């Protein structure tokens, strides 16, 4: 018998670290999911039982990983995977799907990769604190967005520290400097018609090299990051102001409102006006529930 607790995080306006969905499930014997891919990082922690993860490595080869209780597994964006509960001792697990500006580099420094996706804790007390944070998030889905993001930060802290001390690469300090300069420039100039060449020039780098280290560090190209940042700001204006779509397009760096609407739909799946209507209705319902 399946026993599932599942929630979708209601707020996408977090750039550094965002939560997308989370839940807990007691799987039926031989229950399987996949083959599938995810758009974000997805971590499962096994509370009891066993199962098998089939996941593509960096070479595209499908590798089986046998996983038991008190272990976990990380699924990477775009990675093809299937996971199957044991027929006799099906697993129960808790999961979080998350992403953000620094997540990729942090997980790599902690030792996670498509070749090494399995979580083996070396420090039991930190593993236990990580488990508590995951369950807290799952069981408190109605808390505020900032509250849940705070606990997501604690989860990642316990996750990485329970594996081993993070080794910082010698080149990471310089990369962090370039990344900080680039993001600060985007934050102060996203409303202008800036280009990737402009951002690279601020860092004193050519576009090709800048694009390479930016993607290695964040997991996103500079173009995609700038697009996502602008669209995130656009959702804030759509939800919190009465500005027209034309005015909002100008406010986030688009002179042509039609180009803005197309870009917005590419990211969120619906045009800006429809997104505003849908999310204002949802916000009003949540507010009504809170005041009852």
- Domain ranges in the chain are 3-163, 172-283
pLDDT score, position 164: 66
* Encoded tokens for 71: 């272990």
Q: What is the pTM of this model?
A: 0.59
Q: Among residues 68, 73, 32, which one has the least CA distance to residue 55?
A: 73
Q: Name the percent of the chain in helix, strand, coil, to the closest 5.
A: 50, 25, 30
The model's confidence at residue 2, banded by pLDDT at 50, 70 and 90, is low
Domain spanning 172-283, CATH architecture: Orthogonal Bundle (1.10)
pLDDT over 60 at 5, yes or no:
no
The residue with greater pLDDT, 81 or 10, is 81
The model's pLDDT over 45-95, given as tens digits with 9 standing for 90+, comes to 999 999 999 999 888 899 999 999 999 999 999 999 999 999 999 999 999
The number of residues making up the chain comes to: 292
pLDDT score, position 3: 58
Mean pLDDT, the chain, rounded, equals 85
Question: Mean pLDDT over residues 13-38, rounded?
Answer: 86
- Tell the residue number behind the tokens 């129960």, with chain if given: 92
- Tell the residue number behind the tokens 């429809």, with chain if given: 274
| Least confident window among 3-7, 62-66, 123-127, 260-264 | 3-7
Edge to edge, what strands does the sheet with 62-68 contain?
32-36, 81-85, 50-56, 62-68
The model's pLDDT over 185-244, given as tens digits with 9 standing for 90+, comes to 888 888 888 889 989 888 888 889 999 989 888 888 999 999 999 999 999 899 888 999
* Residue 12, phi then psi, degrees to nearest 5: -105, 10
Query: How many angstroms separate the CA atoms of 110 and 165, rounded?
Result: 8
CATH number of the 3-163 domain: 2.60.120.10
Neighbours of 286 (CB within 10 A): 12
How close are the terminal C-alpha atoms of the chain, in Å? 35
């Amino acid at each position: 018998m399946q026993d599932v607790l599942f929630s979708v995080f209601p707020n996408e306006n977090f750039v550094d670290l965002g939560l997308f969905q989370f839940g807990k499930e007691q799987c039926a014997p031989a229950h399987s999911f996949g083959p599938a891919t995810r758009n974000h990082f997805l971590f499962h922690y096994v509370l009891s039982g066993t199962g098998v993860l089939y996941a593509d490595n960096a070479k595209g080869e499908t590798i089986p990983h046998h996983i038991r209780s008190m272990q976990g597994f990380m699924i990477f964006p775009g990675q093809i995977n299937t996971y199957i509960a044991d027929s006799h001792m099906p697993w129960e697990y808790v999961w979080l799907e998350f992403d953000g500006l620094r997540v990729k580099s942090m997980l790599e420094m902690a030792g996670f990769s498509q070749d090494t996706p399995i979580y083996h804790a070396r420090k039991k007390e930190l593993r236990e604190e990580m488990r508590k944070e995951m369950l807290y998030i799952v069981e408190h889905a109605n808390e505020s967005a900032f509250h849940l993001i705070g606990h997501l930060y604690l989860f990642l802290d316990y996750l990485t520290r329970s594996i081993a001390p993070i080794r910082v690469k010698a080149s990471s300090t310089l990369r962090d400097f370039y990344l900080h300069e680039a993001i600060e420039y985007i934050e102060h100039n996203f409303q202008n018609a800036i280009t990737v060449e402009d951002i690279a020039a601020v860092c004193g780098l050519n576009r090709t090299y800048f694009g390479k280290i930016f993607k290695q560090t964040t997991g996103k190209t500079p173009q995609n990051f700038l697009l996502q940042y602008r669209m995130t700001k656009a959702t804030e204006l759509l939800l919190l102001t009465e500005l027209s779509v034309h005015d909002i397009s100008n406010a986030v760096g688009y002179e042509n409102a039609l180009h803005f609407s197309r870009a917005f739909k590419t990211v969120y799946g619906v045009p800006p006006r429809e997104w505003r209507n849908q999310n204002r209705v949802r916000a009003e319902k949540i507010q009504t529930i809170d005041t009852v």
